[in-house]
Chain A
């Protein structure tokens, strides 16, 4: 997939050799994607049937955690709506290959759930979530924090080698330059924070070329929190969607 490789190249350009440093010694044992492999498998990402995906979403109890229509009602679980099919398909494969881990074993449920899915079903689910509008602003979003996060997200911090998040995740967090870059708008802040910390600690190794591990590394806890609330605040405002 050319676009996947683009993200990789971009990251390497932005930060030189640092991308390699992202794969630090302690993450060596973790499985990682090889981009050809991924490209091969993601050719199916856009062949899914959203109607079948909706059925699976309920039949396989995805709705129990991720919400009736993929817009998570709880701070424990991420929202899935508004994601591009490539990202969802990839992330389901990531779980199945045990590439997403965390200190709290929150990902374990997904690792085991995805072992029930074949790739056709993954594509169907991905098509369904992509067909739904972006999640609404989570109720726990803090506007003051959101303001603080905005600058870093839009401008980055050149001195510390942090690229503008919006460069990849889209001007409004709506998913960006490659279809396997996730949308962040309206995402549950608790989940966002966990994801960033797991990149920072090298636990989550699903990011090709260690891109996110590299950007997350210099960030402080406070910055991560501000970024989380900023992106949460970009969610859709339509309350009626729930």
Chain B
């Protein structure tokens, strides 16, 4: 398809190169070829926003799944307020609207000298710039009795959406009257810092309706968590927290919350505080960058990927950018919002670098929304900038105020539901 004069001018302006036969829909790639690995929140956003910043660049997205399930609001699926369909998104718009080649395959390695990536089924693919957003993987095996098999059967984590979410749902529904649902919370850093506490809250709400004498126990290796002040206030208001009848018991490190070993067959978790028998156990293990990051040699000793904070280019391998949960982003929490924000920064940086421009100063945002019940939302919003290659939080940040107006948390809850769709569209549509 020949390009129109106007489209050509647009492409030229953006790419700074002459491209007589390029089209906007399927650029031929003289302006460069960018391969993006991982079609989750970070990767999908990067693909879309790179197209907006660089109309003439060829963009290929590698992702094994042909649909993506967001972890965002997967806690709602677990308690039956939403369906898997509501959190499922396709790559159709990235293909048709943004001219991105989407290859459903797995990347299994690369050659940073020749600049090629190796696909599992599809052979090799050359790139000028690589953007990697592989998410996280779990660390099994640092606690006796806990391993991958246990995680896939009796103690699911539900920290990747899909089968694990449904397993959690089934186990929740099977808790007998007056039984116990136990969560093992992870140590920092991990994906979605408020996620465990949102989930525990929604489980308590579910119990209120379906199993009013059941209880939620959280064993935590930490002594504090994000938004813990508004969370605990909400637990007091909704679930009797700090009373003898509390539906939620939170056992921090200082009270022996750290787990020592598990007995999967008996359904017992041994923590410093003693042995806890439960009818359903949600074990959220420690985390590290997705396995792919290790394969590509992008990680540091702690298991995360160090990057230049202004461009998200790897500090280990040139022309490779790492975004999302896998990257080291200092004060920015590992969230979908952060991954989306970082993807936009990396996309702009890659477009600039390909066009011979110097990338600008990024400003990034994160907002973490959590539901404590269907009618009670809390949030934290932060703005970040980069100083001396460190991402720092600007003082103007905001946690939901604690007011006595019942309308305030309700409006936050309504807002969050609407936000999920808007946000997913920003990434995928």
Which A residues contact B (CB, under 8 angstroms)?
59-62, 64, 108-109, 112-113, 116
B405–A59 CB distance below 8 A: yes
A112–B406 CB distance below 8 A: no
Interface string of B397-413 (1 = CB under 8 A from A): 00000000111101100
B414–A112 CB distance below 8 A: yes
Distance of A157 Cα from B364 Cα, bound (Å): 57
Distance of A225 Cα from B62 Cα, bound (Å): 48
Interface residues of B in 376-429 (CB under 8 A from A): 405-408, 410-411, 414
A59-B405, A60-B405 known; A116+B410 contact, CB < 8 A: yes
Q: Is B120 an interface residue (CB 8 A)?
A: no
A60–B414 CB distance below 8 A: no
New contact pairs (18) apart from A112-B414, A113-B407, CB-CB < 8 Å = A59-B405, A60-B405, A60-B406, A60-B407, A61-B405, A61-B407, A61-B408, A61-B411, A62-B407, A64-B411, A108-B414, A109-B411, A109-B414, A112-B410, A113-B410, A113-B411, A116-B406, A116-B410
Distance of A195 Cα from B406 Cα, bound (Å): 28
Could you tell me the distance in whole angstroms from the C-beta of B1 to the nearest C-beta in chain A?
36
Interface string of B367-383 (1 = CB under 8 A from A): 00000000100000000
B405–A112 CB distance below 8 A: no
Distance of A59 Cα from B406 Cα, bound (Å): 9
Could you tell me the distance in whole angstroms from the C-beta of B237 to the nearest C-beta in chain A?
14
Set of chain B residues within 8 Å of A116, measured between Cβ atoms:
406-407, 410
Set of chain B residues within 8 Å of A109, measured between Cβ atoms:
411, 414
Distance of A62 Cα from B405 Cα, bound (Å): 11
Distance of A108 Cα from B415 Cα, bound (Å): 11
Q: Count A/B pairs, Cβ under 8 Å.
A: 23
Set of chain A residues within 8 Å of B414, measured between Cβ atoms:
108-109, 112
Set of chain B residues within 8 Å of A108, measured between Cβ atoms:
414
Interface of B (DSSP majority class): helix
Which residue in chain A gives the minimum CB-CB distance to B374?
A112
Which residue in chain A gives the minimum CB-CB distance to B406?
A116
Set of chain A residues within 8 Å of B410, measured between Cβ atoms:
112-113, 116
Size category of the binding interface on chain B: under 10
Set of chain A residues within 8 Å of B411, measured between Cβ atoms:
61, 64, 109, 113
Closest 7 CB pairs of A and B: A60-B407, A61-B407, A116-B406, A59-B405, A109-B414, A61-B411, A112-B414
Set of chain B residues within 8 Å of A61, measured between Cβ atoms:
405, 407-408, 411
Distance of A61 Cα from B375 Cα, bound (Å): 15
| 23 A-B pairs in the complex with CB atoms less than 8 angstroms apart | A59-B405, A59-B407, A60-B405, A60-B406, A60-B407, A61-B405, A61-B407, A61-B408, A61-B411, A62-B407, A64-B411, A108-B414, A109-B411, A109-B414, A112-B375, A112-B410, A112-B414, A113-B407, A113-B410, A113-B411, A116-B406, A116-B407, A116-B410
Interface of A (DSSP majority class): helix
Could you tell me the distance in whole angstroms from the C-beta of B214 to the nearest C-beta in chain A?
26
Distance of A61 Cα from B411 Cα, bound (Å): 9
Could you tell me the distance in whole angstroms from the C-beta of A111 to the nearest C-beta in chain B?
10
Distance of A109 Cα from B408 Cα, bound (Å): 12
Set of chain B residues within 8 Å of A60, measured between Cβ atoms:
405-407
Which residue in chain A gives the minimum CB-CB distance to B417?
A108
Which residue in chain B gives the minimum CB-CB distance to A60?
B407
Distance of A108 Cα from B374 Cα, bound (Å): 13
Set of chain A residues within 8 Å of B408, measured between Cβ atoms:
61
Distance of A109 Cα from B414 Cα, bound (Å): 7
Could you tell me the distance in whole angstroms from the C-beta of A201 to the nearest C-beta in chain B?
22
Distance of A60 Cα from B411 Cα, bound (Å): 10
Set of chain A residues within 8 Å of B407, measured between Cβ atoms:
59-62, 113, 116
Which residue in chain B gives the minimum CB-CB distance to A65?
B411
Distance of A108 Cα from B407 Cα, bound (Å): 14
Set of chain A residues within 8 Å of B405, measured between Cβ atoms:
59-61
Distance of A60 Cα from B409 Cα, bound (Å): 10
Which residue in chain A gives the minimum CB-CB distance to B407?
A60
Set of chain B residues within 8 Å of A112, measured between Cβ atoms:
375, 410, 414
Set of chain A residues within 8 Å of B375, measured between Cβ atoms:
112
Which residue in chain B gives the minimum CB-CB distance to A59?
B405
Could you tell me the distance in whole angstroms from the C-beta of B139 to the nearest C-beta in chain A?
41
Interface string of B285-329 (1 = CB under 8 A from A): 000000000000000000000000000000000000000000000
Which residue in chain B gives the minimum CB-CB distance to A111?
B414
Could you tell me the distance in whole angstroms from the C-beta of A76 to the nearest C-beta in chain B?
13
Distance of A108 Cα from B410 Cα, bound (Å): 12
Distance of A112 Cα from B409 Cα, bound (Å): 12
Distance of A193 Cα from B93 Cα, bound (Å): 31
Which residue in chain A gives the minimum CB-CB distance to B375?
A112
Which residue in chain A gives the minimum CB-CB distance to B405?
A59
